[in-house]
Structure 1
Amino acid sequence: MARRADHSKEELASLVVNTAEELIAEEGIDAFSARSLSRAIGYTAGTLYHHFKDLDDIVTQVNTRTLVGLARAFAEATPSADPRQMLHNYADAFLGYITLKRNLWNALFEFRRKPDQPVPPWYIEAIASLIRIIAQCFSDIRPDLDEKTARQSGQLVFASIHSVVSLDSSGRLSLIMDRDITKVVHELVDMHILAYTHRTK
């Protein structure tokens, strides 16, 4: 078993987050605990809390990496001058990333924080920045509509894709429809594009 002297403060903090990310990716957030994490890294649970406030803090660090990864996937999406096509390209990037990081993505929304533990503002901003990328496509489709309207459509697309992928990953989508998830996602995007295109001011 490793001892505290085996790692510097920075090395141990990195080890904790890296290992937490691996455990959540492999076993899911429901199986993740301070005990499983301390056992995996060879330190006592008490040692964890010399470097992090609590388990919420550790999961937040992991979730931040997940959001950064999605932002990177968006940045690497196939470019297109057509904002409608770009929405579909972002949808492909979104779906591909969630599929690859399924358990980590679920941890973003399934982890139950302590009642007195607010979500950090910068964490909310990380999600909002992803939605702004989608919203910009809507702004390009209808420049005459205001920013709020575009943002709301971006939120709807984000929530829609997350919802159907969550249903699919839990095996519950088949209770509603027997459809390929990729086709479902792109039909949802088309529906949102159509609705936005025909919106009145």
Structure 2
Amino acid sequence: MGISDRKEREKGEMKKLITDAAMRMFLEDGYAKTSIRNIAESIEYSPGTIYLYYKDKDELLYEVQRQAFLKLVSAFKEHATSADPLVRLSQMGKTYVSFGLENPELYDLMFIIRAPMNVDCEVHDDNGLECFGYLLRTLEECMASDLLIFKDPNQAALQVWSMMHGLVSLNIRCRLKIMLLDESSMQLVLNNAIDEYITSIIK
């Protein structure tokens, strides 16, 4: 291995060390309460070392979000695999709900926390793009077979995603308690909601 290759590997290892620590602290202590100094102390480096890789905490948040979206798309690729696009759409919805229920703090970082305004969006504008593309392609397949009521795939994706997000975010923010649902039955109730919604958009 050459010097440049070794340096790139070491750079990648350091960035992973930093982002792993940042994700852990964002989830355990909350984004607002976590500082670059806290993160540096947890990995036993100086804050200056972190600033060599990330300009501030906001940029670190975007990197943590990128990794979280990779986890979500991996879940889609594992659990939403049916050759039938309608079945796959249902699998996606249930996978999305399951991901949110199992990772509420992470989901909050991905979708609910207000995004920082001082980050170069051109660097991070692909966060979540692969996840959205997975949904969009599935809907396009459904529409190519004239299975859904929608005419525009982007409009379809917006509505389907909003429905899935609504279920997860209502639960994460404890707003579904008003329905007096047993927590042990929550997954089943939300999965049924996914199926009912998909039934309502089938031609």
TM range (shorter): 0.7 to 0.9
Which position in structure 2 is the counterpart of 1:156? Answer: 159
- Per-residue CA deviations over 1:114-163 (Å, capped at 9, x if unaligned) read 434353322253343243244245325526877x6233223222222222
Conserved? CA contact 1:153–1:196, under 8 Å: no
Give SS of 2:114's match: coil
AA in 2 matched with 1:13: K
Conserved? CA contact 1:84–1:141, under 8 Å: no
Which position in structure 1 is the counterpart of 2:194? Answer: 189
AA in 2 matched with 1:26: E
Matched, 1:131 2:168: no
5+ long unaligned stretches in structure 2: 1-8
RMSD over aligned CA atoms reads 2.9
- Structure 1 vs Structure 2: percent identity of aligned residues? 21
Q: What are the equivalent positions in structure 2 for 1:1-201 lying under 5 Å apart?
A: 8-77=10-79, 79-119=81-121, 120-123=124-127, 125-136=129-140, 138-139=142-143, 142=146, 149-176=152-179, 178=181, 180-198=185-203
AA in 2 matched with 1:152: Q
- Residue correspondences, number: 191
Give distance in 1, aligned partners of 2:145 and 2:35: 46
Conserved? CA contact 1:78–1:89, under 8 Å: yes
- TM-score, normalised with respect to structure 1: 0.77
- TM-score, normalised with respect to structure 2: 0.76
Q: Which runs of 4+ in 1 moved over 4 A?
A: 143-146
AA in 2 matched with 1:190: D
Distance change in 2, residues 1:143/1:174 (3 Å): closer
Which stretch of structure 1 is more off in the superposition, 168-177 or 51-60? 168-177
Residue 172 of structure 1: how far off its partner (Å) = 1.8
Distance change in 2, residues 1:29/1:51 (3 Å): same
- Per-residue CA deviations over 1:79-138 (Å, capped at 9, x if unaligned) read 434433222222222122222322112101234344343533222533432432442453
Which stretch of structure 1 is more off in the superposition, 37-46 or 189-198? 189-198
